[in-house]
A and B are shown apart, each in its own frame.
Chain A
Amino acid sequence: MSLSVSRKNILIAAIAIAFLAVISRLFYVQIIEDKYRINAENNALKYKVNYPARGRILDRNGEIMVDNKIIYDLEVTPIDVQPFDTLAFCEIFDLDEEFVKERFDYYRRYRSRIGFGSVSFLKQIPGEMYDKFAEKSYMFPGFDAVIRTAREYPVNSGGNLLGYISEVDQNFLNSHDGYVMGDFAGKTGMEMAFEDRLKGEKGYEIFLRDAHNRIQEHYENGEYDKEAIGGSDVMTTIDLHLQAYGQQLMQNKVGSVVAIEPSTGEILAMVSSPGIDVSQLAEINRYYSELINDPYKPMFNRAVQSAQPPGSVFKVVNGLIGLQEGVLTPDTKYPCHAGYQVGRVKLGCHNHVSPIDMYQSLMMSCNAYYCYVFRNIIDNPKYGSVGEAFDKWREYVTSFGFGTKLGSDIPYELAGNVPTRATYDRLHGKDRWKSLSIISLSIGQGELGCTPLHLANMCATVANRGYYYIPHYVKYQPGETVDSTYNVYTTRHYTMVDTTYFPEVVKGMEMAVQGGPGATARSVAIPGIIMCGKTGTAQNPHGSDHSVFMCFAPKDDPKIAVVAYVENAGFGATWAAPIASLLVERYLKGEISPERKYLEQRMFDANLLYKVKTK
């Protein structure tokens, strides 16, 4: 007992000593040391926040896509305000006298809360207004203009690809550290993707006030001030002019165009149409409700957020799987007499010669041919059951990136959809379906959902003869430290199809553009460039068919792979193919050859918006 009691006392003594130590430190900090103490009259430090300039966004050649301009916020420190000439004040800022009165009533009501603090009076006042104010600022003590920066866009290129910045809200604050009310942050697109590099660091100056609340001097000679650090410029893989050209081609159409450099996975252009005009982007708040209510949804980045059936361009994938599985050789011939029919199931096709081999099937986009190929894959006896074979097929398709988020740095990327066994078990009953029930997958219809980015990535994979780099739009300037997250973009991803089979489909795609009679895309061949392409016409429940085209060029050592997806426009060869091919020509040659000028003009002029149902 004596032991325990003494131990209790020892513990109490130890606790008491610890508390005494804390209290003496407090006594020192609060009473003795006046480094921390500010005497009773000037008991307020004034913090003046300096906002950093946000980093600029550059295109792949270093041209400026997003720049800054200086604007001013007007702040007021109510306690410093003395009676002033309200009329002159209102004149400068183009205000109602009533407004000023209201504000000051408000400040009076909450004076205890505001104390010596400053509050925002007007936001984003333009330069001319500021100049007028600066001249007469002596007349308005207590008012202070704080420099901030707003976005400016030298070229109308990018739109919602660039994204916008806006003032942070409570939700944002809850999930992000280091921001306070009144700060701006990137909300969409690149502004969001590169927020960390663009934002920079706020600085502040600390001032002491004297007995009359006048700012007196820098606290501790500015030892604790902090300079604002501007955000870094971020280079992107986008080609500013190609992007602008793509937007021009897509004007008055709904859909998207994605161009990728196959050898790196760098996104050269990504158009989502209709998009946001950069003039609206800079003042997003003013146009927000207009944009959000626009039936064509300009805020929506279709290139990564709109998952649709791919249509016939998907035949390339099924062909490759057939080759790899050994159920198809390039010379295998199948007949087609305006379609494929087994019992009650019929899948139509257009008129072309028959029978045809694999190259011709890609060249003429034969539907029947791929019904044969697909059924051979799914009914392959080596897998024992339709379900097993389908699982294998799905595995192949997923290895091209379909049905998954590719992992690009583009915000809000969708995974799309590749149906699973369970999907069909639900639709038809468990194991009560066969290859014929899902035959529409053979030509890229049915339950498939791919974003244009998925298709562009597949096109780049074919261009590379079997591998892809994850598409991305971040790029580093020479000499810049590369973030470790960048490594994912320099890794090759191979599909499950052997690279030796790719040249075969490339040949078929070449014939589709460069081939003779019957070639689906011969009308968009570019003089002097060997281009490979594949058209697609995607049926969909929302109206007319979507016009799809994917292509890459030159055939050997491809520099660009493009996918155009024009919604409800009709045949792939009519709209998507010219748009994609013009983009390729523009990128490779820098200009459009005279004999194709009419095509360009037709694309500029076409207005296909009326075909899109907006509900």
Chain B
Amino acid sequence: MANTSIYSKLDWRLIIYYLILVVFGWLNIYSSVHAENSILFDFSQRYGMHFIWMCIAFGLALAIIFVIPSKIYNGLAWWMYILMIGLLLVTLVIGVEVKGSRSWISLGGIQFQPAEFSKITTALALSALMGKYGFVFKRTSCWLRAFATLGIPMLLILMEKETGSMLVYIGFFLVFYREGMSGWFLLAGLFAILEFILGLVFSPYVAMLVLTGTFLLIFFVRNKHVLTGSILTVVAITLLAFLPKLLAVEAIAAKNPFPAEVWLAAICCAACLFVLVRDLLMRSKDKFMRYLLICYILFTGFIFSVQFIFNNVLQDHQRARIEVLLGMKDDPKGVGYNVHQSLIAIGSGGMFGKGYMQGTQTRFDFVPEQTTDFIFCTIGEEWGFVGSFGVLLLYFLLLMRILNKAEQNADAFTRIYGYCVASCLLMHILINICMTIGLMPVIGIPLPFLSYGGSSLLAFTILLFIFIRLDLDQWKYLKH
């Protein structure tokens, strides 16, 4: 009785979205690698291999729903997490180096990437941690634990030089936000990216101006001086914009050893410190003010280290990709080659595409990695805007469905896990597609369910189906 009703209670909509995406991905992999006389089930070819992976994935999905008890996810979350950390450590030592990153383990001839699977264990561990009764994100001990749980795998994956996979983990901050982390964190993150770009493309001085203006505005709005504050800010920034001109006057320049941004930073930071110290002495209750000032100083430091980070911390290929993206260098034959070829492929698709297996750009191997990271090119070229829009719509519906289901669930563990799944998928989708259409630097991560690759297909399948299984459990609560 209970077993038959499973079918009616399963979230078929999610499963159907999943199946459409996986099968569509396979058809496109076939299209982009098929040779003159290929057959669909040639197992020496990628589409043949992918078919095998698909079967394994479907088998796993069935097992997760029907066989594996759902209790283990919450109960064993930490054990799995620790096991995976161990595996990541092992990978660092014995891993096989593939294309510059040491992230693959070879087991009996099959290679797989533990980093793909550690998303699942991290998601489970975070859900177990934050879903526990009494977890309040604002409490220091709580958020510290959450950050550490997320930070350890991130650090290990970064050490494996899988920067792309590491970036995906940033998505978990959306989950933190949902669970009570201050939204300022997310805004600060976005603002840091903006400052980074400003500092690189224009100058540190421009970045300083934007920083100062933004913080002035926040300060005034916070103190309810919206109108006067805005005017004051605009005036102050406009005046400050002329400071470099003033410093460039020969008489001054001769005696002035520092560039303008140093003067500005020094003056503003001194002011901030002064207010901070005064605040502390007066034991002011306005904590927000204090954080704002500290943030300002930190951001100033960040702006001054942008050049250093860019030139010394980033690897050569990463730096080159960013330069191309920001238009600092036009290099359609070198680093920009991938992106340009990818854009031609997608752009030449037009409204309705060239039709399945009619793609000319992807056929000639001019788009690199066209079955893995650049699979979206094949879709864009052969199915056109309609096709790519369709894929995005499908992804959007999938994400919304997960979020709604998660939000409806009475169990905090399931809810948080649902958010984890959604943010993981979201990061992959956005980073991957934005890369192919030149909105982000080239970061090699797969497109969920569509890209070729056993590790990623299995990992995403497990990730999603654990959620579907957990979601099934809520009927248990409703009965009573």
CA distance A492 to B151 in the complex (A): 45
Tally of chain A residues near chain B (CB < 8 A)? 46
Q: Are B350 and A31 in contact (CB under 8 A)?
A: yes
Query: 1/0 per residue A38-79: CB within 8 Å of B?
Result: 101001110100000000000000000000000000000000
State the CA gap A35–B392 with chains docked (Å).
24
Contacts of A614 in B (CB 8 A): none
Interchain CB contact under 8 A, A19 and B396:
yes
Q: Are the CB atoms of A15 and B346 closer together than 8 Å?
A: no
- Cβ-defined contact, A30 with B388, below 8 A: yes
State whether A43 and B351 are in contact (beta carbons under 8 Å apart), knowing that A4-B178, A30-B385 are contacts in the complex.
Answer: no
How far, in angstroms, from A223 to B437 measured CA to CA in the complex?
A: 20
List the B side residues contacting A19 at CB < 8 Å: 392, 395-396
> Any chain A CB within 8 A of the CB of B426?
yes
For residue B142, CB closer than 8 A to chain A, the reply is no
B266: min CB distance to chain A, Å: 36
The residue that A226 contacts in the complex, of B333, B347, B439, with Cβ under 8 A, is: B333
| Interchain residue pairs A-B with the least CB separation, the first 8 | A36-B347, A30-B385, A44-B360, A29-B347, A110-B36, A226-B333, A38-B348, A180-B365
A191 shortest CB reach to chain B, Å: 24
- Which of A6-14, A424-432, A574-582 contacts the other chain? A6-14
Select the stretch in A112-120, A311-319, A505-513 that faces chain B. A112-120
Interface string of A102-114 (1 = CB under 8 A from B): 0000100010111
Query: Would you call the interface of chain B mostly helix, strand, loop, or mixed?
Result: helix
Bound complex: CA A115 to CA B384 (Å): 18
Q: Let me know if A43 and B384 touch, CB within 8 A.
A: no
Could you tell me if B385 and A15 are in contact, using CB atoms closer than 8 angstroms? no
Are B360's CB and A223's CB within 8 A? no
Taking a contact as CB atoms under 8 Å apart, the answer to whether B351 and A7 are in contact is: no
Contact between B434 and A30 (Cβ–Cβ < 8 Å)? no
CB neighbors of A among B333-375 (8 A): 333, 340, 343-344, 346-351, 354, 357-358, 360-361, 363-366
Q: Is B213 an interface residue (CB 8 A)?
A: no
What are 10 A-B pairs at a CB distance below 8 A? A11-B403, A12-B400, A26-B389, A31-B350, A36-B346, A37-B348, A43-B354, A45-B344, A47-B364, A113-B37
Measured CA separation A146–B161 after assembly (Å): 41
- The residues in B between 35 and 59 inclusive whose CB is less than 8 angstroms from any CB of A are 35-37, 44
B396 contacts A45, C-beta separation under 8 Å: no
Q: What 4 additional pairs, Cβ within 8 angstroms, besides A11-B174, A22-B434, A33-B347?
A: A22-B430, A31-B351, A224-B332, A224-B333
Q: Tell me if B360 and A26 are in contact (CB < 8 A).
A: no
Q: How far is the CA of A40 from the CA of B174 in the complex (A)?
A: 43
Complex contacts, B174 vs chain A, CB 8 Å: 11
Contact B380 A115 (CB under 8 A): no
In the complex where A26-B389, A27-B385, A30-B384 touch, is A11 in contact with B178 (Cβ < 8 A)? Answer: yes
Q: Check A18 against B36 for contact (C-beta < 8 Å).
A: no
Chain B residue nearest to A209 (CB atoms) is B360
User: A204 to B333, alpha carbons, bound, how many Å?
Assistant: 11
Do residues B350 and A110 form an inter-chain contact, with CB atoms below 8 A? no
Tell me which of B343, B364, B384, B433 has the highest count of chain A C-beta atoms within 10 A of its own C-beta. B364
Residues of A within 8 Å of B357, CB to CB, are 112-113
Nearest-neighbor residue (CB-CB) of A38 within chain B: B348
Q: Is A597 among interface residues, defined by CB-CB distance under 8 A?
A: no
Q: With A and B bound together, what is the CA distance between A33 and B349 in angstroms?
A: 12
A2 to B: closest C-beta gap in Å = 13
Chain B interface extent, by class: 35 or more
Complex Cα gap A223–B336 (Å): 13
- Contact A15/B399 with A7-B178, A22-B430, A35-B347 known, Cβ cut-off 8 Å: yes
Contact check, A30 vs B380: say whether CB atoms are below 8 A apart. yes
Partner of B363, one of A5, A38, A117: A117
Residue of A nearest to B345 (CB): A36
Given contacts A11-B177, A31-B351, whether A26 and B437 have CB atoms under 8 Å apart is yes
Asked if B99 is an interface residue, CB under 8 A from chain A, the answer is yes
> A4-B178, A7-B177, A37-B348 are known contacts. Are A25 and B439 too (CB-CB below 8 A)?
yes
CA distance A329 to B430 in the complex (A): 77
Question: Do the beta carbons of B347 and A37 come within 8 Å of each other?
Answer: yes
A180 CA to B33 CA, complexed, in Å: 12
Residues of A near B396 (CB, < 8 A) are 15-16, 19
CB distance from A95 to the nearest CB of B (A): 20
Q: Are B392 and A37 in contact (CB under 8 A)?
A: no
| A16 CB contacts on chain B under 8 angstroms | 396
Contact residues in A for B319 (Cβ distance below 8 Å): none
What B residues does A21 contact at CB under 8 A?
Answer: 439
Q: Is B34 an interface residue (CB 8 A)?
A: yes
Contact of B433 among A22, A106, A112 (CB under 8 A): A22
Determine whether A480 belongs to the interface, using a CB cutoff of 8 Å to chain B: no
- Min CB distance, A427 to chain B, in Å? 33
Interchain CA distance A223-B44 in the complex, whole Å = 37
Given contact pairs A11-B178, A35-B347, A36-B347, A119 touches B36 in the complex (Cβ within 8 A) = yes
Contact A26 B365 (CB under 8 A): no
Q: Which residues of A contact B434 (CB under 8 A)?
A: 22
**Would you call A26 and B385 a contact (CB within 8 A)?**
yes
- Of B99, B351, B363, the residue contacting A115 (CB under 8 A) is B363
A170 contacts partner chain B, Cβ-Cβ < 8 Å: yes
A422 within 8 A of B: no
Residues of the B chain whose Cβ atoms lie less than 8 Å from the Cβ of A25: 437-439
Q: Does A177 contact B (CB under 8 A)?
A: yes
Q: What residues of chain B lie closer than 8 Å to A22, measured between beta carbons?
A: 392, 430, 433-434, 437, 439
Interface centre among B177, B349, B380, by most chain A C-beta atoms within 10 angstroms, is B349
